[in-house]
Amino acid sequence: MFTSLTFGTMAWGQSDRWDRALDSYQTICDRCILLREQSLRGDEIPADELRSLLEQVSSLRASLQRGSGSMSKAQKERFERIRSRYVEAFSKQGYSTDGPVLRIARPVLDLPRVDWSPQIKAGERSRTTVGERSRTMVGERSRTTGPSAPLRDRSKSTGLMAMGSWIPNTLSYGAMATLTWGKAGIYAKGRSNFQNKIGEYSCLSDGTSGGKVIWTSGQESHPTWALGAGGIFKIAGPVGLYVGSGYGSAQTLWEDASGKWATVEDYSAKGICADAGIIFSKNHFQASIGISTITFKKPALELGLGIRF
């Protein structure tokens, strides 16, 4: 598949750059021969190995296309040796004369023809189209791995986002972890404003406790925390919906004149919380926006931003 890399239509301006290009070309050809040998023995060829080779080929093409010039006579002879060794290894049973001994068994595979011209034209582009390169890569992968070879599911990914949440009078912070595959996934999250005041008794927002008026100092505290988990469902493209539930607390505390803290019952909530929102995932970027409510009394706006792997 890599013999279609046409050195005849690309050039570098300096001799040492051609030497480095030939070094890379030889490395790629050697790895192809070894992978074919593995596949003929019945060994599994990792998909990551094939992708790595394709990346090397693309990198080499890009480097050659940026330069201009001509190979020396010695460099042309070296290219022919590398190419001949590759073609020989893939076309018949035999041994390499330029490197380690390799035993290549039949059957003969149909390889793409190497388009080689001894004259290098400055700045000329490869005639191989992106579609042809893709078809060559797919065909070679199917010949080496076989239909039953397992490949990693590229749609499966994990993500981690930093979260911020706003409830009137307070902000809380936390994190949300996601695991997605195909059109579904799961998430888990937690947030808090890290305030730790505890009410010693309770009161109402009209300033009474047990029917008696309390005198307050004017100081307030709003300890808030929430934990939740649920499912993620793809809607269209990179956009998905997340829905879940959990447990949380959002309290409002007033300090009285004696320095004690009272929990304002009708301004506080503790119990089951519900989550819903939109999550956007693209490449390694992930973002979310949604709402969360504790016992449907304390709604909060949540924003998330992070990465996925």
SS3 48: helix
Domain boundary among 117, 145, 173: 145
The DSSP letter of residue 4 is: G
Domain boundary among 119, 145, 171: 145
Boundaries of domain holding 195: 157-308
Taking only the tens place, the pLDDT of each residue in 99-108 is 443 443 333 4
pLDDT bin (cut points 50, 70, 90) of residue 65 is low
pLDDT average, residue stretch 151-179: 85
- 48 and 190 fall within a common domain: no
pLDDT bin (cut points 50, 70, 90) of residue 66 is low
- 86 and 170 fall within a common domain: no
Q: What is the per-residue pLDDT for 64?
A: 66
More confident residue, 121 or 297: 297
Q: Token pair of 39, please? A: 């596949």
- 162 and 299 fall within a common domain: yes
Question: Percentage of the chain surpassing pLDDT 90?
Answer: 41
More confident residue, 147 or 63: 63
Q: What is the per-residue pLDDT for 150?
A: 52
- 161 and 304 fall within a common domain: yes
Task: Tell me the CATH number at 178.
Answer: 2.40.160.20
Q: At residue 141, does pLDDT exceed 70?
A: no
- 227 and 166 fall within a common domain: yes
More confident residue, 93 or 255: 255
Average pLDDT, the chain: 77
The whole-angstrom separation of Cα 251 and Cα 23 is 68
The whole-angstrom separation of Cα 229 and Cα 186 is 7
- 235 and 293 fall within a common domain: yes
Please check whether residue 204 lies inside any domain of the structure: yes
246 strand-pairing partners: 228, 273
Q: What are phi and psi of 266, to 5 degrees?
A: -80, -5
- 126 and 161 fall within a common domain: no
- 81 and 38 fall within a common domain: yes
Please check whether residue 55 lies inside any domain of the structure: yes
- 210 and 81 fall within a common domain: no
pTM: 0.49
The whole-angstrom separation of Cα 67 and Cα 125 is 11
pLDDT average, residue stretch 216-236: 93
Q: At residue 275, does pLDDT exceed 60?
A: yes
Please check whether residue 285 lies inside any domain of the structure: yes
More confident residue, 301 or 65: 301
- 198 and 273 fall within a common domain: yes
The number of domains in the chain is 2
Pairing of strands 239-250, 224-236: antiparallel
Taking only the tens place, the pLDDT of each residue in 171-200 is 999 999 999 988 899 999 999 999 989 999
pLDDT bin (cut points 50, 70, 90) of residue 274 is very high
- 10 and 126 fall within a common domain: yes
Domain boundary among 113, 145, 177: 145
- 80 and 166 fall within a common domain: no
Please check whether residue 150 lies inside any domain of the structure: no
